[in-house]
A and B are shown apart, each in its own frame.
Chain A
Amino acid sequence: MAENERYIIRATDLRKKFDGFPAVDGVSFHLVPGECLGLLGPNGAGKTSTIRMVYGFSPMTSGSLKVFGLDINTRWRQIKAAIGVCQQENNLDPDLSVLQNLEVFARYFNIARKETRDRSLQLLKFIALESRKDDKVTSLSGGMMRRLVLARALINNPELLILDEPTTGLDPQARHQVWERLELLQANGLSILLSTHNMDEASRLCERLIIMDHGKILVEGKPADLIRSHAGDHVVEIVNPGRDVKEFVDAHNFLHDALDHRMIIYGREADKLFDIIGDKFCPETCIKRLATLEDVFLRLTGRELRE
């Protein structure tokens, strides 16, 4: 790819409109080699629209987008040849067997016929599906299909792996199977762009996160930094809080969210006052815990239902 390129992806003021509606509304971000960048956001935040522009599936309305230092508008074929994509839907080819799904896909990338068999078998081994190689894909479980989609995305030895909600709808076992493999790939230096609304997935796999909503980037940073700056270190959740708690919290200007039957108070590590709340107002009904990415997510994107 282009010489001395510091960025795998570089997006500047990227916009996407659907019939005038701004699905992606001026987004700028970058991804450096070997990094896993996570796009977090509720449904309809613009994650998938952003990702689809990166792999040349969907044309941008305006802005600039370079992948491997090449302009996606003109060099899309070259860019797509070096990207692996796990789309949101399991669009495996139901007319083909498990092995054929990989072999035929390899041919779309122009991989020599001699090589396709070896590479396909190697990848089946990686996802532990060698024994199912001649089966129909429709006979696979959801988790197996997802692993096969991942293997298919790796058939061209991509320099960038794009994952659009890779574990949505999987049971915990299947999810961990996928994560373990992604961690292996990451350890080998593969650059990854991941969209998800699973907080565990984001904080486990990604060094850096972008939280999006309504087509815009809300915050960007390392998972731990985001938690510290937007939700503190510790959280106390009080069910059906009394008036005294509310007054105390207001008086001391605590960062908090007052919900209908629950108050969530965010505090610093060395916060004495925070300890007082725990001791004074918490008989049995309150929960003390560490702040999580989910706190950050809900604080930034709100708690109302989406779609």
Chain B
Amino acid sequence: MSGGLRITNISWRFIRVWNRNMLVYRKIWLVNFLVPLFEPLLYLAAFGVGMSALIGQVHYHGEELSYIVFIAPALLAITMMYNSFFENTYASFVRMYYQKTFDAMMATPLSLEDIIAGEIVWGATKAVIATAIMLAVVSFFGLVYFPHGLLILPLSFLGGLAFGTVGMVFTGLVPTIDMFNLPIFLFITPMFLFSGTFFPISALPGWAQKVSLALPLTHLVDLCRAFCLGELTPDLVWRIAYITVLFALLFPVALAVMRRRLIN
């Protein structure tokens, strides 16, 4: 049980941690459902009715898209990022630091690695649920091409794993809960704005486009947009690979920083 990487400490028992979080989630499922249900309506009203008149068409990959068609997939990608990132930062931190839930779990056959894996898979699950609800809402407005649009669901799990893992790395590092403001300011908010979400990245200067391409949300947004438009191209494989590799690289880091934090 000493330091270092212990990937082999992960067992299928991590599902018990997932079960615990699901049980708590279901207690207030209505509140949990309301946000993904109504948030897209607010955005679609603001951008679809308000901004569309100012912006008109958006030029994207050689096509002219109405502004609302352009941003609807971005809203889905942002939902994936927010749900998993916030679950594995604030919510996980509260369970770890204030509620001592992890300490209690570690007096059972669960390993620390089981607990962290369970938390990250749970964060990804929350992303899937929220994305599914939102997908239903935007489909209602005819903004999703089916059946390709259904690929958004497995994508939300992958995106959730990646952003949840990023969040968990910060949870292992921040000294206090207020410090999460820093990664949000430096990482989440710039992605929210500059990942081809509200305008195509081709509108950015050359160097900024390169930076934007390094951001994981850019690729998640492009994937969502391709699936919503029903335009599957070979380059999407690279985008999926990018997000998968990000997750695969950061997952051991998340385990290591949490082990350093909690096991002494």
Q: Is the CB of A110 within 8 A of B109?
A: yes
Please judge, given known A-B contacts A85-B107, A104-B19, whether A59 and B1 are in contact too, CB under 8 Å. yes
A96 on the B face (CB < 8 A): yes
CB contact between B24 and one of A55, A72, A83, A96 (< 8 Å): that residue: A96
B261 on the A face (CB < 8 A): no
- List of A residues within 8 angstroms of B19 by Cβ: 104, 107
Q: Is the CB of B20 within 8 A of A104?
A: yes
CB contact between A18 and one of B23, B99, B104, B264 (< 8 Å): that residue: B264
Q: Is the CB of B101 within 8 A of A91?
A: yes
Interface residues of B in 212-264 (CB under 8 A from A): 263-264
A119 on the B face (CB < 8 A): no
- List of A residues within 8 angstroms of B171 by Cβ: none
Number of A-B contacts (CB under 8 A): 75
CB contact between B108 and one of A18, A59, A80, A95 (< 8 Å): that residue: A80
- List of A residues within 8 angstroms of B108 by Cβ: 80-81, 105, 108-109, 156
- List of B residues within 8 angstroms of A246 by Cβ: none
B39 on the A face (CB < 8 A): no
Please judge, given known A-B contacts A85-B107, A95-B24, A96-B23, whether A108 and B16 are in contact too, CB under 8 Å. yes
B210 on the A face (CB < 8 A): no
Q: Give the nearest-CB partner of A89 in chain B.
A: B100
Q: Is the CB of A77 within 8 A of B109?
A: yes
- List of A residues within 8 angstroms of B2 by Cβ: 59, 73
The total of chain A residues at the interface (CB under 8 A) is 33
A57 on the B face (CB < 8 A): yes
Bound-state CA distance A57–B163 (Å) is 29
Interface of A is mostly: loop
Q: Give the nearest-CB partner of A156 in chain B.
A: B108
CB distance from A153 to the nearest CB of B (A): 8
- List of A residues within 8 angstroms of B103 by Cβ: 57, 87, 89, 91
CB distance from A77 to the nearest CB of B (A): 5
Q: Is the CB of A107 within 8 A of B16?
A: yes
B13 on the A face (CB < 8 A): yes
Q: Is the CB of B109 within 8 A of A94?
A: no
A183 on the B face (CB < 8 A): no
CB distance from A67 to the nearest CB of B (A): 13
- List of A residues within 8 angstroms of B110 by Cβ: 108
Q: Is the CB of A100 within 8 A of B23?
A: yes
CB distance from A195 to the nearest CB of B (A): 14
B105 on the A face (CB < 8 A): yes
Binding site for A on B (CB under 8 A): 1-3, 11, 13, 16, 19-20, 23-24, 27, 99-101, 103-111, 263-264
Binding site for B on A (CB under 8 A): 18, 55-59, 72-73, 76-78, 80-81, 83, 85, 87, 89, 91-96, 100, 104-105, 107-110, 152-153, 156
9 closest cross-chain pairs (CB), A and B:
A91-B100, A85-B107, A108-B108, A59-B2, A91-B104, A95-B24, A59-B1, A81-B109, A80-B109
